[in-house]
Each structure stands twice: as structure tokens, then as C-alpha cells.
Amino acid sequence: MPTDPTSLKQAAAELAAKQVQNGMIVGLGTGSTAYFLVAALGQRVKAEGLRITGVPTSEKTAAQAQSLGIPLSDLDHHPQLDLTIDGADEVERNTLNLIKGMGGALLREKIVASASTRFLIIVDESKLVDHLCSHSSLPVEVIPFGWQATERRIRALGCTPTLRQKDGKEFLTDGGHYILDCAFPPVSEPAELERDLNNTVGVVEHGLFLSMASEVLVAGASGVNVLTRK
């Protein structure tokens, strides 16, 4: 099996796509791994006549799905989803706690995942860590108004925040917010950090996805392994 990250992501995504069945309402994630997932589902729709309805987590994912002929809807019409499939920036072994949001869609991703019966994550083996924030910064979505004051409050939690930029300007989420990429030391008590961020004025959402993943497909040199939450 190929060992480069792109091929590993594609292998995990294609295996995840096989779990989608006719009639399902499926949350479609955002990011480089989710891109392969949507592509694989589009191929099944075209080649097999797979009948699904997708609920995208970003405008970018919606555009890709539409280009592939995947019918789309939203949570107003489908408040309960059968399955959401998405990638992750880090996966904590044993707990399957996640960091997500490097693709900039963490708020919509969390809303869609919370409305799903199953939340399936697809990653390559480089994303597995013993503690969250071992390799990845934690994205925190904040209101643009007074964001500097919010940044100071977040910095006081023990991190170094950096305002995300794109093309020389502040990156804007689909909801019109900024993202602070927060470099924390490895986090041993993510539930405490989650509580502190939830209680921080100006924070819209954060990339800690705790106790949400049903299972994780991990692609590595030996194939794709399935991890379940203990």
C-alpha cells in the first residue's frame, strides 16, 4: 500500500464511502481528506446509482458535491443525519478526541456532527497522538469585533494565538468570523480547556471535538485500521 499522506487519505476516504447506503442523509466534511470522500461518493452516485442526500459543512464542499451530482440539503430539512464523515487534524489514541478546523469550517462541522447518529473520522496514521495539541495548533473561531481582547483572554489560558491569514488578509470563515490558531503545549485535560474556551467571551467555537467520534479509519502502510472509542 502506498505510504505517502495523500494516497493514505484517499484509501481511508474510499473505504469510508463504502459505508454509505442508499437513502442515507450524510454529513459531508471539509478539508483535504473529506475532498477524497466526496469524490468517492460522487463516483458511486454516477457508477452505481447510489441515492443519498448530502449536508455539506462548507461552501467549498457544497460546490464540489454539486459538481459531482450529489443531491444536497440542509439541517432545516433534515435535522437528524444518519452519518457524517470527516477528517481530523489530530486524533487522540484511546479516547478518539479530536482537533479539527484547519480547513476553516469547524463551526459548521461541529453543528453537523452533533446532529448525526454516527460520526466517522478518516485520517492517515500521522494524525494519531497521545495528547491533543502535540503537533497541531487548536483553531478557535472568534467574533471579529474586539478580537484582540478575545485573543488576550485566550492567551491567558496558556497558548500562543496567531490570527489566521489568507492572501495577505484576515481569513474569514463561511460564518464571517476570524480564526485564531492557538499553539498550546500537549493537553492532558482537554475537557478543562473545552470548558475554559466555552466560557471565553468572543469565542464562537473551537476545534476540540471531545467524545464525538464513533469510530476512526486510520490508513497506514499496513492498510486501514478501525479504531473505536473505549
Q: How many CA atoms lie within 13 A of 195 on its CB side?
A: 4
Which residues does the annotation mark as catalytic? 109
**Cβ partners under 8 Å of residue 199, min gap 6:** none
Are residues 124 and 218 in contact, defined by beta-carbon separation less than 8 angstroms?
yes
C-alpha cell at 37: 470522500
Element (H, E) at 93: none
SS3 state at 10: helix
